[in-house]
């Protein structure tokens, strides 16, 4: 069903936003640290018009689900909470939003760690900005999107996903300092491309594990007497902490240092080594990997043409990311998947994407 079929009239405007994959800097954004995401070709498109009654009307083509919401105090659940959240944060910022008809369509896989949620928020905010001609820049859009996700979808996320969806493109890496919002656009290392493979394992413990890691990081920062772990630059400073805080903090500090090394300019080989080191740190110190991801990453790291590989996203399942020789991603993926699936799993190539249009 298209917009016309759902709402009985054509849309007035539309906007899109991409998903993202994080190349390096995992679990650093809620520690005020550094990240290196890039946009993926898959994106979410939001079409908008004014609602024909007093309620907001939301439709997701992916879920084939329609929800009506009276703009009152109650917070909806499911996919509508992200869209409703975007409308609410705009109203809190002082804008009056009339009841809207919102149509969502996306090629970003949901729940694989490629940030379909941020793509939905950023596309929604961009479409409303366009419809009402709101004076918002892309950083403000990202910040509003993050507020919507925290307060209305109930996810205590950092700012990386929304900044990546709002500011990154598929040709570059976005370096972001999540404390100062300072950013730099870096080229992908010469002669490389990005390969993302889904492990096929759902991120079942992701939200409880994520909240626990956040709390551990806050406690570690408190014990070290700093505002956030980003303020620790010398990794040996964490050695005095009790376990498991010592290893949690060591991951964050070394991960920040790996991102900063990339910023100095590194070869594809060195970039790959840093990704491999990131995976080991996420597996051993941060303990957010699972056997399937370890198996997948191990196969990737041993495959010719792969500079480096690691789990990407919060962990506990979800996807892997690898930096591979340009032009070889598909062939490498087929080779890796044959071995991975032979080990009893069901992996899937996500990037390079085969069908991003709709
Ligand atoms: P990720 O952001 O890694 O894909 P999340 O759990 O943060 O995973 O967000 C996924 C949720 O976002 C979905 O369960 C759904 O509620 C919402 N969502 C994202 N894209 C869409 C879409 N196209 N249609 C409906 N809901 C969507
Ligand atoms: Mg998300």
List, for residues 97-109, the tens digit of each pLDDT value. Answer: 999 999 999 999 9
Domain boundary among 158, 187, 216: 187
CA geometry: angle at 197 spanning 191 and 200, to 5°? 175
Which residue has its alpha carbon closest to ligand 1 atom 8? 111
At 200, is the pLDDT very low, low, confident or very high (cuts 50, 70, 90)? Answer: very high
Report residues near ion ligand 2: CB below 5 Å. Answer: 115, 117
Mean pLDDT on 311-340 = 97
Question: Does residue 70 fall inside a structural domain?
Answer: yes
**Cα separation, 106 vs 16, whole angstroms:** 9
Residue 34 sits in the same domain as residue 175: yes
The residue segments making up the domain with residue 178 are 3-187
* 306 shares a domain with 287: yes
pLDDT of residue 73 exceeding 60, the answer is no
Which domain-ending residue is among 153, 171, 187? 187
Residue 155, number of CB atoms within 10 A of its CB: 17
Residues 124 and 61 occupy one common structural domain: yes
Same domain, 53 and 137: yes
d(CA 310, CA 255): 12
Minimum-distance ligand 1 atom for the alpha carbon of 118 = 2
Residue 113 alpha carbon, nearest atom of ligand 1? 3
- If asked whether residues 156 and 207 sit together in one domain, one would say no
Active site residues: 161
Write down which residue in 187, 211, 237 finishes a domain: 187
Q: Which ligand is nearest to the CA of 317?
A: 1
In a domain, 356, yes or no: no
Look up the CATH number of the domain holding residue 183: 3.30.230.10
Q: Are residues 17 and 150 in the same domain?
A: yes
Does residue 247 lie within any of the structural domains? yes
Q: Give every CB contact of residue 180 below 8 A, 6+ residues apart in sequence.
A: none
User: 145, 59, 122, 133: which is closest to 97 by C-alpha?
Assistant: 133
Q: Is residue 60 in some structural domain?
A: yes
Residue nearest to ligand 1 atom 15, measured at CA: 79
- Residues 133-141: what's their mean pLDDT? 98
Q: Is residue 207 part of a domain?
A: yes
Same domain, 216 and 346: yes
Claim to verify: residue 222 and residue 179 sit in the same structural domain = no
Handedness of CA 256, 265, 168, 305 (dihedral sign): negative
pLDDT at residue 123 tops 70: yes
- Does residue 149 sit in the same domain as residue 279? no
358 pLDDT tier (thresholds 50, 70, 90):
low
* 177 and 263 share one domain: no
Residues 28 and 153 in one domain: yes
- Taking residues 283-288, report their average pLDDT: 98
- The Å distance, Cα 116 to ligand 1 centre, comes to 5
Report CA(79)–ligand 1 centroid distance (Å). Answer: 7
- Is 28 in contact with 255 (CB distance < 8 Å)? yes
CB of 159 sitting under 6 A from ligand 1: no
Distance between start and end Cα atoms, the chain: 12
Establish if 156 belongs to a structural domain. Answer: yes
Q: Mean of the per-residue pLDDT values for the chain?
A: 95
**Domains: count for the chain:** 2
| 46 within a domain of the structure (yes/no) | yes
Give distance in angstroms: CA of 355 to centre of ligand 2.
21
Same-domain pairing of 240 and 95: no
- Please tell me which residue, 101 or 71, carries the higher pLDDT value: 101
Whether 358 maps to a domain, the answer reads no
Ligand 1 pocket, mutate which of 85, 117, 152 (most atoms under 8 A from CB)? 117
| CATH number of domain containing 206 | 3.30.70.890
- What count of other Cβ atoms lies within 10 Å of the Cβ of residue 129? 21
């Amino acid at each position: 069903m298209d917009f016309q079929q759902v709402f009985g009239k054509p849309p007035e405007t539309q906007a899109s936003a991409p998903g993202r994959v994080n190349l390096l800097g995992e679990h650093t954004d809620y520690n005020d640290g550094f990240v290196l995401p890039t946009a993926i070709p898959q994106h979410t498109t939001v079409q908008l018009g004014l609602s024909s009654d007093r309620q907001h009307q939301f439709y997701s083509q992916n879920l084939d689900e329609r929800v009506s919401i009276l703009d009152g105090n109650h917070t909806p659940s499911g996919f509508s909470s992200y869209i409703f959240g975007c409308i609410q944060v705009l109203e809190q910022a002082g804008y009056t939003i009339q009841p809207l008809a919102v149509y969502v369509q996306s090629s970003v896989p949901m729940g694989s760690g490629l940030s379909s949620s941020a793509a939905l928020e950023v596309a929604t905010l961009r479409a409303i900005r366009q419809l009402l001609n709101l004076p918002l820049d892309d950083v403000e859009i990202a910040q509003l999107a993050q507020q919507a996700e925290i307060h209305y979808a109930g996810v205590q996320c950092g700012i990386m996903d929304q900044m990546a969806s709002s500011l990154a493109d598929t040709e570059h890496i976005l370096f972001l300092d999540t404390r100062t919002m300072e950013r730099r656009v870096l080229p992908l290392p010469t002669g490389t491309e990005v390969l993302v493979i889904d492990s096929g394992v759902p991120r079942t413990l992701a939200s409880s594990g994520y909240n626990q890691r956040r709390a551990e990081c806050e406690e570690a920062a408190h014990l070290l007497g700093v505002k956030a772990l980003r303020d620790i630059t010398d990794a040996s400073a964490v050695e005095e902490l009790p376990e498991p805080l010592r290893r949690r903090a060591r991951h964050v500090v070394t991960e920040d240092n790996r991102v900063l090394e990339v910023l100095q300019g590194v070869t594809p080989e060195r970039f790959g080594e840093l990704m491999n080191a990131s995976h080991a740190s996420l597996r051993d110190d941060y303990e957010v990997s699972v056997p399937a991801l370890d198996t997948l990453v191990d196969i990737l790291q041993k495959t010719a043409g792969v500079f480096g590989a690691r789990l990407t996203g919060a962990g506990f399942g979800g996807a892997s990311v690898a930096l591979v020789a340009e032009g070889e991603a598909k062939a490498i993926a087929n080779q890796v998947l044959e071995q991975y699936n032979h080990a009893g799993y069901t992996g899937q190539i996500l990037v390079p994407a085969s069908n991003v249009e709709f």
